[in-house]
Structure 1
Amino acid sequence: MKIKTFVIGLTLCSGYAAASVAPSGKQLMEIIPQPAQLCVSCHGVEGQGVEPLGPRLAGLSKQYISTQLQHFQAGVRQNATMMPMAMTLQGDGIEQVANYFSAKPANEVKPVIRGEQVVFNDDTARLAYQGDWSRGLPACVTCHGPSGLGGGLFPRLAGQQASYIKTQLLAWQSGTRKGDVDGMMANVANKLTAAEVDALANYFANLK
């Protein structure tokens, strides 16, 4: 029994290629909707993400996941890996993927910390919780919710990979990511310095 369980676990974690291998295919279909099977190799079976391949999806709202997949399909949001992946989702595929991952719990994050502890200066916390109105910067939590928990069209930031948060802020700055309401995120990102991007990405990644 232990051997059988271990084999199934390997099949789930190996992604799309293993999803078609008998005899575990039927069991896999019962656990993960078929449209979502392509996603697990980069985002994990439980949506906890596989750095650096894919960010955490657990804890994101169904609305947010659906919207982003639609943006990838339309080319509004650009990513060499995600755009073709999103195009495979036809019919109710987007809905099935969004339902599956949004239902996964956002487990407590235990980041790998090198050294004694991660220390953030007051300026980083101030940007996160108060913003900087002298530069027209609203607090991050204004849209992303208390403690960065997100909701609706605004993604959860708490516990997300720091590398992913940074990549997305840089994408807003460069204009390769779009689709935000009234250009809000592009406006915010373009007012952040490189040091602030790094600091905020690490700050939210370490929030439990």
Structure 2
Amino acid sequence: MGTAKGPMLAGLSKEYIYAQIGHFISGRRSNIQMSPMAQGYTDPQLREPVAAYFAAQGKQPQLQLRGQRQPKSLAEQLYYQGDPTRDIPACFSCHGPAAVGGGPFPRLAGQQADYLGAQLVAWQKGERSGDPDNMMGTIANRLSGKDIQALASYLSSIR
């Protein structure tokens, strides 16, 4: 389980974890705790088993898929339908219907709300990068503070 300011690594894909450690090493991503820790994994032969270990700790969400019903909340609407009026795509199109991610897309289900909110704000401010074509930076800049809070709260509640 993650902390309020850190992610839950169990269930993230090996590729995603490996890439993020690389981003901490290169400085593309920064965190007071992780940046110095990542420096111990500059050798890919050390980084790969660490990424594989955490990915193997998979955590399945207890999410009931909702079929075609209308979303009950702002967060569900954004996650499953997006907001075409603001050119915000549905989050599930990359992170999956159960928010477990896969490949380059991280698991969001069950992450701490404070962590998720902080990451979206970091994308908005340009303090986080490393995704293809700055896709998340572009999307995050279209989200309001209310959107971020709603998404973070909703996604953290998925167990």
TM above 0.5, yes or no, is yes
1:98 paired residue number: 51
Q: Aligned AA for 1:87?
A: Q
Shift of 1:184: 0.3
Per-residue deviation, 1:53: 5.4
Rounded to whole Å, the distance in 2 between the matches of 1:197 and 1:54 is: 17
Q: Which has the larger radius of gyration?
A: 1
- Give the structure 2 partner of residue 200 of structure 1: 151
List alignment gaps of at least 5 residues for structure 1. 1-47, 110-119
In 1, are the aligned partners of 2:61 and 2:98 still within 8 Å (CA)? no
Looking at structure 1, the residues matched to 107 and 4 of structure 2 have their Cα atoms a distance apart, in angstroms, of: 18
**Helix, strand or coil: the match of 1:166?**
helix
The sequence identity of aligned pairs, in percent, is: 48
Greater relative contact order structure (CA < 8 Å, 6+ sep): 2
* CA distance in structure 2 between the partners assigned to 1:128 and 1:154 by the alignment: 14
Q: Which residue of 1 aligns with 2:25?
A: 73
RMSD: 1.6
Give the Å deviation of 1:52.
Answer: 3.1
User: In structure 2, what residue type is equivalent to 1:68?
Assistant: Q
Residue segments in structure 2 that go unaligned for 5+ positions in a row? 63-70
C-alpha deviation, 1:108, in angstroms? 5.3
Give the secondary structure class of the aligned counterpart of 2:10.
coil
Identify the residue that residue 87 of structure 1 maps to in structure 2: 39
In the alignment, the residues of structure 1 paired with residue 146 and residue 54 of structure 2 have an alpha-carbon distance, to the nearest angstrom, of: 32
Question: Structure 1 CA distance, aligned partners of 2:49 and 2:5?
Answer: 21
What TM-score does the superposition give when structure 1 sets the normalisation length?
Answer: 0.68
Match of 1:167 in 2: 118
Q: Closer, same or farther in 2 for the Cα pair 1:60/1:183, shift >3 Å?
A: same
CA shift in 2, pair 1:206/1:179, >3 Å: same
Whichever residue aligns with residue 35 of structure 2, its letter is M
1:157 aligns with 2:108: yes
Runs of at least 4 residues off by over 4 Å:
none
